[in-house]
Amino acid sequence: MSDPIVHVRDVVHDFGRVRALDGVSLDVEPGVVYGLLGPNGAGKTTLIRVLATLLRPTSGSAHVAGVDVLADPTAARARIGLAGQFAAVDAYLTGRENVEMVGRLYGLRGSQARERAGEVLEAIGLADDADRRVSTYSGGMRRRLDLAASLVGRPQVMFLDEPTTGIDPRSRMEVWELVVDLVERGTTVLLTTQYLEEADRLADRIAVIDHGRIVTEGTADELKERVASAVLEVRTAPDDLERARTLLAGIVGEEPSTDPSGSALRMPARDGTGTLVAAVRALDGAGIAPEDVTLQRPSLDDVFLAVTGDVPTEVSA
Partner 1 sequence: MSAPTTDHAHTVSVLRTRTTPATAVRDALVIGRRNLLRNVRLPQLLVFATVQPVMFLVLFAYVFGGAIEGTLPPAAAGEYLNWLVPGLMIQVAAFGAGQTALGLAEDLQNGVIDRFRSLPMARSAVLAGRTGADLVRNAFVIGLMVVVGSALGFRYQTTLLRFLAAFALALLFAHSLSWVMAAVGLRVRTPEAVQSAAFIPVFPLVFASSVFLPTATMPDWLRVFADNQPLTVVTNAMRGLMLGPGALPPGQDLVTEVARSLAWVAVITAIAATGAIRAYRRIAA
Antiparallel, parallel or unpaired: β 157-161 and 80-83 = parallel
Nearer to partner 1, 8 or 69 (CB): 69
What is the per-residue DSSP string for 248-304?
Answer: HHHHHSSPPEEPTTSSEEEEE-TTTHHHHHHHHHHHHHTT---SEEEEEPPPHHHHH
Q: Residues 265, 246: contact at Cβ < 8 Å? A: no
Shortest distance, position 203 Cβ to partner 1, whole Å: 18
Q: Which is nearer to partner 1, 57 or 268 (CB)?
A: 57
Q: Residue count at the site for partner 1 (CB under 8 A)?
A: 51
From the number of C-beta atoms within 10 Å of its C-beta (0-12, 13-18, 19+), residue 282 rates as: middle
Candidates 33, 52, 179, 306; binder of partner 1 (CB under 8 A) is: 52
Q: Which is nearer to partner 1, 146 or 233 (CB)?
A: 146
Q: Which is nearer to partner 1, 163 or 268 (CB)?
A: 163
- Do the beta carbons of residue 276 and residue 232 sit within 8 Å? yes
Q: Which of residues 257-296 bind partner 1 (CB under 8 A)?
A: none
Under the binding rule (CB under 8 A), the answer on residue 77 touching partner 1 is yes
Least separation in angstroms between CB 51 and partner 1: 10
Selected from 8, 36, 62, 182, the binder of partner 1 by CB under 8 A is 182
Question: Rounded CA gap, 187 and 172, in Å?
Answer: 20
Query: Judged by CB, which is closer to partner 1: 161, or 233?
Result: 161
Distance CA(83)–CA(191), nearest Å, equals 10
Number of H helices, E strands in the chain: 11, 14
Name which position in 82, 175, 215, 227 contacts partner 1 (CB under 8 A): 82
For the sheet with 292-296, list strands across it: 257-258, 264-268, 231-235, 292-296
Smallest distance from partner 1 to CB 37, Å: 22
**x/- track of binding to partner 1 for residues 151-170 (CB under 8 A):** x-xxxx--------------
Residues 6+ apart with CB under 8 A from 242: none
Pick the binder of partner 1 from 6, 24, 26, 53 (CB under 8 A). 53
Q: Which of 32, 70, 101, 276 binds partner 1 (CB under 8 A)?
A: 101
Interface residue with partner 1 among 23, 32, 41, 54 (CB under 8 A) is: 54
Residue 7's region, left for phi above 0, alpha for psi from -120 to 50, else beta, is: beta
Is 88 a residue that touches partner 1 (CB under 8 A)? yes
Query: Which uninterrupted H or E stretch holds 7?
Result: strand 6-15
Strand duo 257-258 + 80-83: pairing: unpaired
- Interface residue with partner 1, options 185, 277, 284, 317 (CB under 8 A): 185
Assess contact for 194 and 40: CB atoms under 8 A.
yes
Query: Which lies closer to partner 1 via its Cβ, residue 5 or residue 300?
Result: 5
Binding site for partner 1 (CB under 8 A): 49, 52-56, 74-75, 77-82, 84-88, 90, 92-93, 97, 101-102, 104-108, 112, 115, 118-119, 121-123, 127, 133, 149-151, 153-156, 182, 185-188
